[in-house]
Amino acid sequence: MSRDSMVWLISFLRVKINDVDLVPPSNGETIWTDDELQNYLDMHRIHIVREPLAYDLNKQVYYSTFGMLEADVSLWDSKQSNSNEIPNSNYTVNLVDGTFMFSDPLSWGQGDRYYLDAKSYNIHDAIAECLEQLAMDQNRAKAWGRGSVVYTHYDLMEMAKYHRNLVGSRNTGIVRTYVKR
């Protein structure tokens, strides 16, 4: 069963890969289950741990460098282990672009530094995974249908490559930990 916090991401991915039954009357027919799409998204997940959020000049809107966030996010008032988690009722979040706005900025020390714990997903990699799977089915590689509508595409692998190119470069962070002996 897919996670509740993934509903919006799975729905978004389903629209991007055209896996929605739009032919009236809708019979709910889709190619992938929610669990399958969640697995494709999970394959391209980044764990964000105590990312310092940037803020606007008025220190009312805070920004993450990541977007496409799972709905289960946490904001903290410090990097330390004894920091306080900010209740999610005190802010609104745009999960698509990773912006946070406090409902009452003064109640949470407007201008303080905030940190994010979350999971971010690369939607283009997940789209490419789905297109590559379709390309492997010879009956669907050039034309496939749902209901009374037939979809035709010349090269699904070309579309998968297009979405892989939208991913951009990948960064690997290296953290050195020194242990005193």
Residue 80 has pLDDT above 70, yes or no: yes
3-state secondary structure (DSSP) of residue 139: coil
- Local confidence band at 140 (pLDDT 50, 70, 90 cut-offs): low
Query: β-strands 115-121, 45-52: how paired?
Result: antiparallel
CA dihedral 53, 106, 92, 163 (to 10 degrees): -20
3-state secondary structure (DSSP) of residue 88: helix
The dihedral through the CA atoms of 89, 94, 100, 104 has a sign that is negative
CB 91 within 8 A of CB 103: yes
Task: Dig out the tokens for 97 from the structure.
Answer: 């672009």
- Does residue 176 form part of some domain? no
Give the model's pLDDT for residue 176.
72
- Does residue 108 form part of some domain? yes
- What angle (nearest 5°) sits at the alpha carbon of residue 39, between those of residues 89 and 68? 40
- Local confidence band at 70 (pLDDT 50, 70, 90 cut-offs): very high
| Mean pLDDT of the residues in the chain | 84
Instruction: Report the pLDDT averaged over residues 25-40.
Output: 84
Residue 179 has pLDDT above 90, yes or no: no
- Does residue 92 form part of some domain? yes
- Local confidence band at 30 (pLDDT 50, 70, 90 cut-offs): confident
- Does residue 147 form part of some domain? no
Residue 71 has pLDDT above 70, yes or no: yes
- State the Cα–Cα distance between residues 160 and 164, nearest whole angstrom: 6
Enumerate residues 6+ apart whose C-beta is below 8 A from 92.
Answer: 100, 101, 103
State which residues form the domain around 91.
Answer: 45-120
- Does residue 60 form part of some domain? yes
97-119 residue pLDDT tens = 999 998 765 555 555 789 999 99
CB 105 within 8 A of CB 112: no
- Does residue 56 form part of some domain? yes
Give the model's pLDDT for residue 173.
64
- State the Cα–Cα distance between residues 33 and 38, nearest whole angstrom: 9
- Does residue 40 form part of some domain? no
Total count of domains within the chain: 1
3-state secondary structure (DSSP) of residue 38: helix
* One-character DSSP codes across 2-28: --GGGHHHHHHHHHHTT-S--SSSP--
- Does residue 75 form part of some domain? yes
CB 57 within 8 A of CB 63: no
